[in-house]
Amino acid sequence: MIDQLSWKVGGQQGEGIDSTGEIFAMALNRLGYYLYSYRHFSSRIKGGHTNNKIRVSTKQTRSISDDLDILVAFDQETIDVNIHEMRDGGVVIGDAKFNPAVPEGSKVRLFSVPFTEIANELGTSLMKNMVAIGATSAVLDLPAEAYIEVVEEIFLRKGAKVVEKNMEAIRKGAAYFTDAAGGPLEGFQLNKADGQKRMFMIGNDAIALGFVAGGVRFMSAYPITPASEIMEYLIKKLPQFGGTVIQTEDEIAAATMAIGANYAGVRTVTSSAGPGLSLMMESIGLAGMTETPLVIVDTQRGGPSTGLPTKQEQSDLMAMIYGTHGEIPKVVMAPSTAEEAFYDAVEALNIAEEYQCPVILLTDLQLSLGKQSVEPLDFKKVEIRRGALDLNAELPEVEGGYFKRYELTESGVSPRVIPGMKNGIHHVTGVEHDETGKPSEVASNRLKQMDKRLRKLKNLKFNTPVVKYTPNEEAELLLVGFNSTRGVIEEVIPRLEAEGIKVNHAHLRLIHPFPLKEMKELVDAGKKVVVIENNATGQLANILKMNLGSHEKIESILKYDGNPFLPSEVFNKCKELV
C-alpha cells in the first residue's frame, strides 16, 4: 500500500482533458484524500497539447511531484511529451485508437484500452473520458461506485439515463483493464484516507470567496490569464448580494472605477496579472495620494511583456513593491496556500480601509490556478473592519463648510466620510492638498501631508507576516520563499532533514512593509539563507539584502523556464549549498 500517487491525463486542448482530471480528483476528494492538481496549458482554445497532473496523497501536499505513476493518454503526443516523467514500473494507458507506443527500452508498462470504441458502443465518443477514468480506477483498485456522487452532480440534470451511461462507461473501462492486466496492479493501491470532507479549490476561487465573505459588492475588471476566475466567480455570486461586476474596457478603467467606487464607500476590488498591473500603476498612485482604499490582486505569470502568459513566474515582486511614480503607502501581501488566500483576501479589504491605501494581494499562477485541498475554513475568523469610516456618523457643521478629510493625526489615518453624508463635503485630488483636500503647493503643507501619509503604515498590524518553521535555534539552511513555492519547500524539508541537515523555513506572507524584525531573527539564526523563487534576478533575495545586509550568506535558487520547481531540483541545489 502507498501513501501518495501521481497521475496525469493528457491530450489535445478542447478534448475534455480538464474534466477528466476534475472527475477523477473530485471522487478522490470525497474519499478524503488530499489532492493537488496543476494544469499545463497554452494560450489557445482548441488543439495543442494540454495535461492535468494530479497528486493524490494521505497527507497535505501542494507541490507537483518529481515523477509520475500513471499516465492516461488520448494521443501519442501525450506519451512523447510526458514519458520522461514516468517512474520505472509506471503505467501508461493509451486509447487503442491511436495504437499507443512507448520508446524502446522504456521501463513503463503500456496498456492499450479502446476508450473511444467502448464509448461509441455506449452511444457517444464523448464518454471516452469516463472509460479512461474507469481504466485508471482498475489500476488503483478503486470501485466504480466512488464516482457515482460526482457523476450525478454533473449529469443528473441531463437525466438519470445519462448518469447510468456514464457509470457504465466507467465500469466497462475498469473491466477491460482488469481483463487485460489480469487484476489490479501491485504497488498502486492507496492507503485508506481519513474520510474528512475538504474543499478542493484553486487559489483564485479562495480569493474570490474571501472577497464575497469580506463584503465586496462591486468589482471592475478586465479579463486576463491567470486572474479571470476571480472575476468570473464574482460575476456569478455578487448579484445574490445586490452587487455586480463591470467588465471594463481596459485595466486603467478597472482600477480607476474601483477607486471611484471605494471613494463612494463600497468595498470594490479588481484583479489582473502583470500586463494589467503595468497599466494600473498611475491609478495606484492616485489611490495612495487620495488615501482611497483599493485592493488589487496580481496573479503573477511569466513576463516581461506578454511573456509566458500561461506559465508560472514570480517576477512582479519589485514592481508591486515600488510601482507607481512618487512615494505612497502601500501594502503587498503574499498568501502561499489557498487557505491563506481566503483569509488574506478578507484581511486585504480590512487593511485597505483601516489604513486608507492601496493593497496588492500578490499570488502567482501556480497558486492561482493550482487546485488544492483546503481544510475547513473558520467563518468566525471573517471580520469586517472599516477603520475610521462610520457611515452613520452625525457630522457637525464645519467652519468653511469643508470637512477635514486629510486631517493631520498622530497615526496618519484621517477621519473618512463618503459622498452623500451631510456635512462631510470635502475635495479629493491627486494634486498635493491641504487637510480639506484643497490643492496646495506650500512647502510646509507638502511635508506635513507627505509625512502623514507615509507614517500610516509604521504601525501596521499584521497577523503572521512570516509563516515560520523553525525547529532549529541554529540552522544550516534557512529556506525563504513567497507564494506557491511553499509547497515545494515543505516537501523538500523532510528530505533534507533525513540527510541530517538542519533546516528552518520562512515564507513571507507580508512582503511590504518588509517584516524586518521577524526576518532579521530568522536570518541571524541561519548559516546560509537560500531564497527560492521563480524569477531570473532573485528579486526577493535582493529585498532581503536591501533590508538586512548579510549579502555573504544569501544564496538563490531560481527557476524561470515557466514551470514550477520540482522537489528534486530544490533538494539537489540545497544539498550543494550546505
Judged by CB under 8 A, the chain residues 418 through 457 that form the site for other proteins are: 418-431, 437-439
CA–CA distance, 418 with 114 (Å, rounded to integer): 65
Residue whose CB is less far from other proteins, 204 or 310: 204
The answer to whether residue 282 forms part of the interface with other proteins (CB under 8 A) is: yes
Q: Which of 67, 145, 194, 250 lies at the binding interface for other proteins (CB under 8 A)?
A: 250
The answer to whether residue 348 forms part of the interface with other proteins (CB under 8 A) is: no
CA–CA distance, 202 with 38 (Å, rounded to integer): 10
Q: Tell me the closest approach of the beta carbon of residue 89 to other proteins, in angstroms.
A: 34
Candidates 51-59, 120-128, 261-269, 535-543: pick the segment binding other proteins (CB under 8 A): 261-269
If DSSP states are collapsed to H, E and C, what string results for 238-271?
HHHHCCEEEECCCHHHHHHHHHHHHHCCCCEEEE
The answer to whether residue 337 forms part of the interface with other proteins (CB under 8 A) is: no
The answer to whether residue 555 forms part of the interface with other proteins (CB under 8 A) is: no
Q: Tell me the closest approach of the beta carbon of residue 460 to other proteins, in angstroms.
A: 22
Residue 289 and residue 456 in contact, taking contact as beta carbons nearer than 8 Å: no
Q: Tell me the closest approach of the beta carbon of residue 119 to other proteins, in angstroms.
A: 29
Residue whose CB is less far from other proteins, 121 or 152: 152
Q: Tell me the closest approach of the beta carbon of residue 16 to other proteins, in angstroms.
A: 21
Q: Which of 29, 178, 449, 539 lies at the binding interface for other proteins (CB under 8 A)?
A: 29
Termini Cα distance of the chain: 34
Residue whose CB is less far from other proteins, 241 or 322: 241
CA–CA distance, 162 with 172 (Å, rounded to integer): 15
Residue whose CB is less far from other proteins, 329 or 437: 437
Candidates 49-57, 416-424, 501-509, 565-573: pick the segment binding other proteins (CB under 8 A): 416-424
Which amino acid is located at 78 in the chain? Answer: T
Candidates 70-78, 132-140, 283-291, 553-561: pick the segment binding other proteins (CB under 8 A): 283-291
Residue whose CB is less far from other proteins, 253 or 503: 253
Residue whose CB is less far from other proteins, 81 or 252: 252
Residue 403 and residue 425 in contact, taking contact as beta carbons nearer than 8 Å: yes
Residue whose CB is less far from other proteins, 117 or 282: 282
Q: Which of 182, 396, 400, 500 lies at the binding interface for other proteins (CB under 8 A)?
A: 400
The residues, ordered by sequence, that sit 6+ positions from 83 with a Cβ below 8 Å of its Cβ are 71, 92, 102, 103, 106, 108
The answer to whether residue 544 forms part of the interface with other proteins (CB under 8 A) is: no
Residue 494 and residue 455 in contact, taking contact as beta carbons nearer than 8 Å: no
CA–CA distance, 506 with 480 (Å, rounded to integer): 5
CA–CA distance, 208 with 212 (Å, rounded to integer): 6
Q: Tell me the closest approach of the beta carbon of residue 379 to other proteins, in angstroms.
A: 5
Encoded one letter per residue, x for contact with other proteins by CB under 8 A and - for no contact, window 38-67 reads: ------------------------------
The answer to whether residue 414 forms part of the interface with other proteins (CB under 8 A) is: no
CA dihedral for 124, 129, 131, 132, sign (positive or negative): positive
Residue 272 and residue 284 in contact, taking contact as beta carbons nearer than 8 Å: no
CA–CA distance, 488 with 61 (Å, rounded to integer): 9
Chain positions 229 to 248 lying near other proteins, rule: CB under 8 A, are 237-244, 246, 248
Chain positions 182 to 201 lying near other proteins, rule: CB under 8 A, are 197-201
The answer to whether residue 518 forms part of the interface with other proteins (CB under 8 A) is: no
Query: DSSP character for 62?
Result: -
The answer to whether residue 265 forms part of the interface with other proteins (CB under 8 A) is: yes
Q: Which of 16, 90, 173, 215 lies at the binding interface for other proteins (CB under 8 A)?
A: 215
Residue whose CB is less far from other proteins, 118 or 294: 294
Distances 171 to 98, 183, 363 between C-alpha atoms, Å:
22, 14, 40
CA–CA distance, 71 with 90 (Å, rounded to integer): 8
The answer to whether residue 290 forms part of the interface with other proteins (CB under 8 A) is: yes
Give per-residue burial for 235-260: e unless 16+ CB within 10 Å, then b.
Answer: bebbeeeebebbebeebbbbbbbbbe
- Cβ count within 10 A of residue 183: 10
Chain positions 369 to 388 lying near other proteins, rule: CB under 8 A, are 374, 376-377, 379, 382, 384
Distances 529 to 313, 345, 396, 405, 537 between C-alpha atoms, Å:
21, 29, 56, 45, 16
Distances 528 to 313, 521, 569, 578 between C-alpha atoms, Å:
24, 13, 18, 8
Q: Which of 267, 416, 509, 573 lies at the binding interface for other proteins (CB under 8 A)?
A: 267
CA–CA distance, 214 with 192 (Å, rounded to integer): 36
Q: Tell me the closest approach of the beta carbon of residue 297 to other proteins, in angstroms.
A: 17
Residue whose CB is less far from other proteins, 282 or 518: 282
The answer to whether residue 223 forms part of the interface with other proteins (CB under 8 A) is: no
Q: Tell me the closest approach of the beta carbon of residue 335 to other proteins, in angstroms.
A: 17
The answer to whether residue 213 forms part of the interface with other proteins (CB under 8 A) is: yes
The answer to whether residue 178 forms part of the interface with other proteins (CB under 8 A) is: no
Candidates 6-14, 215-223, 451-459, 480-488: pick the segment binding other proteins (CB under 8 A): 215-223
Candidates 6-14, 160-168, 394-402, 459-467: pick the segment binding other proteins (CB under 8 A): 394-402
CA–CA distance, 505 with 487 (Å, rounded to integer): 12
Q: Tell me the closest approach of the beta carbon of residue 341 to other proteins, in angstroms.
A: 13
The residues, ordered by sequence, that sit 6+ positions from 448 with a Cβ below 8 Å of its Cβ are 408
The answer to whether residue 205 forms part of the interface with other proteins (CB under 8 A) is: yes
Q: Tell me the closest approach of the beta carbon of residue 26 to other proteins, in angstroms.
A: 9
